[in-house]
Each structure stands twice: as C-alpha cells, then as structure tokens.
C-alpha cells in the first residue's frame, strides 16, 4: 500500500512547490491571521500606544500588564473548566446522536427520511431571540437553569441538525460498495459500519466534533440567559463583562481573546491527527 495521496509529490520541482503550495498558503495565512496578529500586538501594547492616529505597528514598550489584570479580574480557571465541560459535553453528545441519525439517512431508504432531515433544518432557520423565553421556561421547569446541562442540551439540539446533514454528506461520499463487500464477508450492517465506514469517516467525524466544540465554545446568547453564577458561566460571558456600557478596554479585551482561544487551538492539535491519518485506505482494502 503506497502512502495515501499524491505519491508523485516527490517529483514536483521546487518551483512548482513554491507557486502551488507556499505562495498561496502564505497569502491565505496573511488574510486569516492579520487580525489575529493585530490582536496579539494590541494585547502587549501599553494603553497609551493602542489607539494612535499615526499607527504604531509594534509596541515601543511591550507589556504584559493587560494579561496580569485580566487574570486578576476574571476567574479564568473557572470559566475554562465550565467552557470545557459544556463544549465537550455538547460535542460528544451531539456527535453520537448525529452519527447514528446520519448513518440511518445515508444507508437506508425509507419513507419520510427526507422530511425529517428538512424539519431538522428549519430549526436552524429560526432566530434564537424568539426561542429564548420558551426555552428558558422549559429549563426552569426541569430545574436546569444555571447548570452545565442546560447549555449542553441547548447546544446539542441546535448543533444536531447541522451535524446530521454534514455527516450524511460525508457518509454519502463513502462508497456503499465497501460496506456491502464487508457484509458479504459475514459482517452485519452494524459491524460493517463500525469496521469499515467509521474509520473512513474518522476525518469527517473529527471535523464535525470540532465544529460543535467551537460553536459551543463561542456561543453567547444562550450562555448569558441560562446561566447566572460563576459555577456555570462560560468564557464568552466572562469575556463580555470586560466590555462596559461606557468603557471599551482594548488591552483587556484582546488579551482575553488570545487567552480564551488557546485551549480550543490546543484541542484541535490533538484531534488533527485523526483528520490526516492514513487509517482509511488500509481498512478498506484489508
């Protein structure tokens, strides 16, 4: 078995690689990261250098004062813990449910499946403001207000339709024949799914997991209405307390943004290997 994809890469000339790979990549990165770099630079500028008519690209006297006052002001560890619980809970819960539903829709033909999928989608077409009050009432009657579970449930239900659709798309792109050939070998539908489709879909599932995780990591409106105490408030709510009615402290805000993005990036680095791993082809041909 040759290494997956593009075995011919070795033959590419250096020039090709520059034009086909490094140059576009650098342009993409410039566009994507420019505001981020500006955020990081701002977070280490002293307050007097942040807004100036003649823009200073680099701080003259770099400082960590914003980070210090950030950690003094916000109980970051608690927010992290809460966000981590809520986001991973929502991600795992909705991934399990969506995988199962998407598999059903992708691999079986039965009446009403298209209808259900469409119904799922309408949910994402509704503005959240209008759903807040009834949802609030539901969570209150279940005694779930101000708990992780309220957010996990809210995020999961909101993410499941998207994930179902996404996973259905991915499953559809994996040829049925692979499973069928497995089933000829005596596997049941379920076994064929677990042994053949699931490994092939690992990158897709990793991507979906990241999607839900990031959505939950950044969601604000549900978070601010369904939680009150420090014990269950998530990072975006904590960060938002830094933006006052009459004060916008760029230093604190940018420092907070940098700090709160790091965990999600680190997590992604771990998940990444599932997205590129050559798990796939070996299992297919085996």
Among 63, 65, 281, 283, binds another protein (CB under 8 A): 281
What phi and psi, each to the nearest 5 degrees, are found at residue 26? -65, -40
Q: Is 15 in the site for another protein (CB under 8 A)?
A: no
Smallest gap from residue 101 Cβ to another protein (A): 4
Among 154, 196, 212, 216, binds another protein (CB under 8 A): 154
Q: Which is nearer to another protein, 44 or 158 (CB)?
A: 158
Please give the residues from 80 up to 119 whose contact with another protein meets the rule CB under 8 A: 89, 92-93, 96-98, 100-101, 103-105, 107-108, 110, 113-114, 116, 118
Q: Which is nearer to another protein, 62 or 133 (CB)?
A: 133
Among 18, 19, 30, 38, binds another protein (CB under 8 A): 38
Among 18, 19, 21, 30, binds another protein (CB under 8 A): 21
Please give the residues from 180 up to 209 whose contact with another protein meets the rule CB under 8 A: 188-191, 193-194, 200-201, 203-204, 206-207
Q: Is 28 in the site for another protein (CB under 8 A)?
A: yes
Among 45, 67, 196, 236, binds another protein (CB under 8 A): 236
Question: Which residues, in sequence order, are CB contacts of 137 under 8 Å at separation 6+?
Answer: none
Among 11, 13, 15, 31, binds another protein (CB under 8 A): 31
Please give the residues from 61 up to 80 whose contact with another protein meets the rule CB under 8 A: 69, 72-73
- In SS3 terms, the chain reads as CCCCCCHHHHHCCHHHHHHHHHHHHHHHHHHHHHHHHHHHHHHCCCHHHHCCCCCCCCCCCCCCHHHHHHHHHCCHHHHHHHHHHHHHHHHHHHHHHHHHHHHHHHHCCCCCHHHHHHHHHHHCCCCHHHHHHHHHHHHHHCCCCCCHHHHHHHHHHHHHHHHHHHHHHHHHHCCHHHHHHHHHCCCCHHHHHHHHHHHHCHHHHHHHHHHHHHHHHHCCHHHHHHCCCCCCCCHHHHHHCCECCCCECHHHHHHHHHHHHHHHHHHHHHHHHHHHCCHHHHHHHC
Q: Is 229 in the site for another protein (CB under 8 A)?
A: yes
Q: Give the Cα separation of 253 and 243 in Å (integer).
A: 7
Site string for another protein, 114-143 (x = CB under 8 A): x-x-x-xxxxxxxx-xxxxxxxxxx-x--x
The 10 Å Cβ neighbour count of residue 56 is: 11
Smallest gap from residue 147 Cβ to another protein (A): 5
Site string for another protein, 240-259 (x = CB under 8 A): xxxxxxxxx-x-xxx-xx--
Q: Give the Cα separation of 47 and 124 in Å (integer).
A: 41
Smallest gap from residue 232 Cβ to another protein (A): 8
- How many chain residues bind another protein (CB under 8 A)? 149
Q: Which residues pair with 273 in a beta bridge?
A: none
Smallest gap from residue 54 Cβ to another protein (A): 9
């Amino acid at each position: 078995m040759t290494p997956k994809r593009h075995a011919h890469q070795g033959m590419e000339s250096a020039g090709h690689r520059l034009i086909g790979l490094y140059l576009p990549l650098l342009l993409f990165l410039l566009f994507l990261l420019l505001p981020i770099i500006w955020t990081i630079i701002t977070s280490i500028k002293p307050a007097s250098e942040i807004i100036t008519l003649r823009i200073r690209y680099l701080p003259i006297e770099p400082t960590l004062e914003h980070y210090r006052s950030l950690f003094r002001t916000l109980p970051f560890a608690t927010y992290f813990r809460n966000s981590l619980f809520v986001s991973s809970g929502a991600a795992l819960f909705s991934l399990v449910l969506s995988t199962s539903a998407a598999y059903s829709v992708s691999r079986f033909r039965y009446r009403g499946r298209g209808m259900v999928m469409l119904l799922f989608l309408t949910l994402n077409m509704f503005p959240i403001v209008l759903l807040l009050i009834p949802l609030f009432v539901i969570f209150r009657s279940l005694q779930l207000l101000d708990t992780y579970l309220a957010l996990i449930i809210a995020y999961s239900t909101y993410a499941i339709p998207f994930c179902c659709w996404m996973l259905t798309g991915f499953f559809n792109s994996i040829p049925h024949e692979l499973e069928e050939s497995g089933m000829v070998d005596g596997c049941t539908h379920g076994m064929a799914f677990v042994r053949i489709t699931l490994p092939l879909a690992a990158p897709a599932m990793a991507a979906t997991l990241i999607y839900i995780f990031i959505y939950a990591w950044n969601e604000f409106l549900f978070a601010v209405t369904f939680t009150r105490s420090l014990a269950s408030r998530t990072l975006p709510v904590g960060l938002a307390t830094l933006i006052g009615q009459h004060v916008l402290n760029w230093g604190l805000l940018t420092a907070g943004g940098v700090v709160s993005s790091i965990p999600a990036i680190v997590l992604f680095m771990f998940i990444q290997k599932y997205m590129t791993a050559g798990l796939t082809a070996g299992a297919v041909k085996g």
